[in-house]
Structure 1
Amino acid sequence: MSSPQAQGLVELPDSHRGAITLGDPAYHRDPADVFSELRRAYGPVAPVLLDGQVPAWLVLGHRELIQVTTDTALFARNVARWRLREQIPAEWPLWPMVGGGPAGASLLYTEGDEHRQRAGAVSRALAGIDPVEVRAQCEAYAEDLVESLAHRGHAELMAQYALLLPVMVMGWALGVPGDENEALVAAATDQLAGGDRALAGHQHLHRTMQALVRRVRERPGADVASRLAADPVGLSDEQLCQDLIVTIVAGHQTTAYWMGNAIHRMLIDPRHTDAFVRGRLAVSQALREVLWDDTPTAIFAGRWTSRPAHLGHVTIPAGDLVLLGLAAANRDPHLRPEPGVGMRGSRAYLSYSHGPHSCPDPARDAAETIVTAGIEVLLDRLPDLHLACPPEQVGWAPTVWMRGLESLPVDFTPTPPTIRYAGGTPWI
């Protein structure tokens, strides 16, 4: 929702007068309904407003989104191309998620050779993680988290499980000290929410990654941050810091919300309950259906037109902000003419974006491993998990960019602590 103090930061063009504001109460209640309304009114590309009445164009169509993410010359990544950039104050709460901030130093918003080199370095560093070890770490952390709550008979699964497990695994992979986990969850959540604490959340992430950069420069180890620091591309300290922020925020929040959305669907949709609990559909395939229907990354910012661009039914002026409607594109009726019909077997979803700026394969693999292991361990230990409130009372996180649960209260049969033997043969 737009805050009163952030109204009217720029002069609105005629194309955006009367446009809806992303992040208002209707959007948070049901973004899919808002996307459908926009599609009916405007077609595959719609004018929208962000906090402070900042105009942007939201791409809703699957074909149009493929066009935008493929043509990186026309729909470019550098925030310096934004014609409104100098008019937006530095304290704008959406800056951390739009162009990486006024300075635009993030890997996500680089172009050409610089992007290929930095993205390649991140991909190589992530590829160095042993997938067997990742799975083992996921299971160990998941067991510890379930053990901490299994005796209670109730839990809030977002705060106590889904939001913690990915940051524990990602923190281990990057080399972040374990005592930073809860603060990292809070900072990433604040940044994505885009509210009063967004900038403070971003600053905390920056300080944490700066400390990690200092450590790996002085005492490199066998972690992602150390491999990235040693990559031949030769990142500066600030570039390394920014690329680590991208890696942990993208790896944590999307994975946590993917897990939460999957568990939520399992608890309210018998078809997904069968898939996860009774094994009628492989967990990995069931999770991909969640990406189609309830993807955690709803909207991604941004692209900027390098010249006037015809897209869908509109011509977008040069220097305008273009938002990727990933969730809307996954539900495009031209791709899925029958609403509610699954896309089993197809991986044409755009949850990881598309094109040269899409999520690297090692990161996708790690996310699927974390979510799969997390759900399998949870259901193995707490097989009678059920919602502790009516489905309509489950709240969603107040962010434009993500579709994830704010809380997920559950009940289950309490179980006694698991006895773990340090070694040898236990008495029986």
Structure 2
Amino acid sequence: MTHPASAPVPLSGPRFHTEPLELYRRIRREHGAVAPVLLDGDVPAWLVLGYRELHQVTSDPVLFSRDSDLWNQWDAIPADWPLLPMIGRKQPSILYTVGERHRERAGVVSGALEAVDPFVLRQLAERYADELIDALCGKGACDLIAEYAMLLPVRVLAALYGFADEQGPGLVTAMNDMINGGAGALDGQRHLAESMGALLAAKAARPGDDVASRMLGNTAGFTVEEVAQDLMVMMAAGHQPTADWIGNSLRLMLTDDRFAASLSGGRHSVGEAMNEVLWEDTPTQNVAGRWASRDTHLGGRRIEQGDLLLLGLAAANADPHVRADAGAFTGGNNAHLSFGHGEHRCPFPAQEVAETIARTGIEVLLDRLPDVDLAVPEDSLTRRPSPWLRGLTALPVTYTPTPALGGLS
């Protein structure tokens, strides 16, 4: 089936963060499983909305390459294009490495994360979650995004990397400054890069039982700069989506009666809420991207060599061709594409780390603040204006003030 020529959809506007699933359904009805879209500056691309089509793209890294040098639009991209940090050229990180070199590099990352002791990971997550709640529990009200979800993942990841405990708060600030953009973004990026360089120098001289030392000790011949780039990518990719996973799951549990029991001290529904979020409200909505290495066809569309394809993870998860009811609760079904698919997907050990941090963060919060309640009407909650990552700008809550634990657990 081919689709007639149709006007491209601007990948911007409030509907991407107010009602994205309804918007994706409309785009699918009007354009099919692969839709023409426009990025900032009217740069053309394809958005892959179909589950099967996205599976096809991510399963064929030769035809649909991760090599951004293939892009046929580079001559039209200005030096100050706002999406360059996301869709860059000749970037040295694992994100843009292809072929055997990518497989080797991904193996080093996966091996370093897989060696993390799950009990140590859980203890670290509990420790920092308790520390954060100690600062909140006596107030009786807080914003769970700014004061909790956006602070927890980096602290845990920094400890796993091998950073000293006292460096954690500075790394949290740097990472969030980078995410928020503006005047502090470059300073945040500089602090993170300098801190990573100092960490690797220290671990090269005195290795430890940590992710940085394990990556430095690999035998695949990667440079210190490559290791530093991959560690920074892993921290960025692990922090914001995990923070949004925490925030989106807590929003669901605070606003949906099905999860009311969990808010009174039970834990049995936490995993269900987290899984439903990955289907219905996934933190990573769209991913850039893949580039066609030759002319081809996909979802009834003619894709030309060098065309950019965006992975519509949220849209694919709601594809009615693979889900009888795209709005239904999916229970224990883990066939979502929220972590991607294929050899460039989020490494499985990284998924496990993110899930442990998010689940522990939610469980500790519910244990410590069992009567937490939303402080504003549900329909007043707002999302960041982004088609890429879906997360709340704030989640204000109230609860009965309680004493701090008096120290780290």
**Partner Cα separation in structure 2 for residue 44 and residue 406 of structure 1:** 30
Map of 2:126 onto structure 1? 139
Letter in 2 for 1:329: A
Secondary structure of the corresponding residue to residue 303 of structure 1: strand
Question: Residue 299 of structure 1 contacts residue 400 of structure 1 at CA under 8 Å; is this kept in 2?
Answer: yes
Q: What residue in structure 2 maps to residue 5 of structure 1? A: none
Answer yes or no: is 1:168 the counterpart of 2:155. Answer: yes
- State the Cα deviation string for residues 80-129 of structure 1 (Å, max 9, x = none): 1111224323332212222xx22222201111111000000000011111
1:196 is displaced (CA, Å) by 7.8
Q: Which residue of 2 aligns with 1:417?
A: 404
Tell me: CA distance 1:92–1:199, structure 2 relative to 1, closer, same or farther (3 Å).
farther
Taking a change above 3 Å as real, the CA distance of residues 387 and 207 of structure 1, as seen in their structure-2 partners, is: same
1:31 and 1:201 map into 2 onto residues whose CA distance is 30
Query: What is the CA–CA distance in structure 1 between the aligned matches of 2:183 and 2:301, rounded to whole Å?
Result: 34
Partner deviation per Cα, 1:125-182 (whole Å, 9 max, x = no partner): 1111110010011111111111110000001111111111111100100123445545
Alignment-derived partner of residue 254 in structure 2: 267
Q: Could you tell me which residue of structure 2 aligns to residue 213 of structure 1?
A: 200
Give the Å deviation of 1:407. 1.1
Q: What is aligned with 1:3? A: none
Give the SS at the match of 1:323: strand
Q: Which amino acid aligns with 2:277?
A: V
Supply the distance in 1 between the matched residues of 2:291 and 2:280 (Cα, whole angstroms): 28
Q: CA RMSD in A?
A: 2.4
Task: Select 1:308's aligned residue among 277, 295, 298.
Answer: 295
* Mapped contact 1:83–1:319 kept (Cα < 8 A): yes
Establish whether residue 35 from structure 1 lines up as the match of residue 36 from structure 2: no
% same residue: 48
- 1:19 maps onto 2:8 in alignment: yes
Match of 1:58 in 2: 47
Shift of 1:59: 0.7
Residue 370 of structure 1: how far off its partner (Å)? 0.8
Cα offset for 1:340? Answer: 2.0
One-letter amino acid of the structure 2 residue matched with residue 383 of structure 1: P
For 2:118 and 2:73, how far apart are their aligned partners in 1? 44
SS in 2 for 1:95: coil
2-side partners of 1:402 and 1:200: how far apart?
22
Deviates more, 1:199-208 or 1:217-226: 199-208
Alpha-carbon distance in structure 2 between the residues aligned to 1:262 and 1:189: 20
- Superposition deviation, residue 26 in structure 1: 2.6
Q: Which residue of 1 aligns with 2:364?
A: 377
Partner Cα separation in structure 2 for residue 255 and residue 91 of structure 1 = 29
Per-residue deviation at 1:293? 1.1
Whole-angstrom distance in 1 between the partners of 2:21 and 2:402:
38
2:396 aligned partner, one-letter code: P
1:296 equivalent among 268, 276, 283: 283
What secondary structure sits across from 1:410 in the alignment?
strand
The code of the aligned residue for 2:391 comes to G
Among candidates 144, 149, 161, match of residue 136 of structure 2: 149
CA contact (8 A) 1:193 1:400 kept: no
Contact 1:97 1:192 in 2 (8 A): no
Give 1:78's match in structure 2, choosing from 67, 75, 79: 67
Give the length in aligned residue pairs.
Answer: 406
Map of 1:336 onto structure 2: 323
Q: How far apart in 2 are the matches of 1:403 and 1:305?
A: 27
Residue of 220, 223, 226 corresponding to 1:239: 226
Work out the CA distance in 2 between the residues paired with 1:380 and 1:412.
Answer: 12
> Which stretches in structure 1 are left out of the alignment for 5+ residues?
1-14, 423-428
Q: Structure 2 unaligned runs (5+)?
A: none
Q: Which one of the candidate residues 79, 95, 102 is aligned to 2:84?
A: 95
Q: Is the partner of 1:304 in helix, strand or coil? A: strand
Moved more, 164-173 or 27-36: 27-36
8 Å contact from structure 2 (residues 265, 366) kept in 1: no
Distance, in Å, in 2 between the alignment partners of 1:260 and 1:156 is 10
- Larger RCO of the pair (alpha carbons < 8 Å, separation 6+): 2
Taking the aligned partners of 2:91 and 2:408, their CA distance within structure 1 comes to: 51
Q: Counterparts of 2:201 and 2:183 in 1: how far apart (Å)?
A: 29
AA aligned opposite 1:26: R
Counterparts in 2 of 1:318-397, with a 5 A limit?
A: 318-397=305-384
Q: Partners in 2 of 1:212 and 1:86 — Cα distance?
A: 38
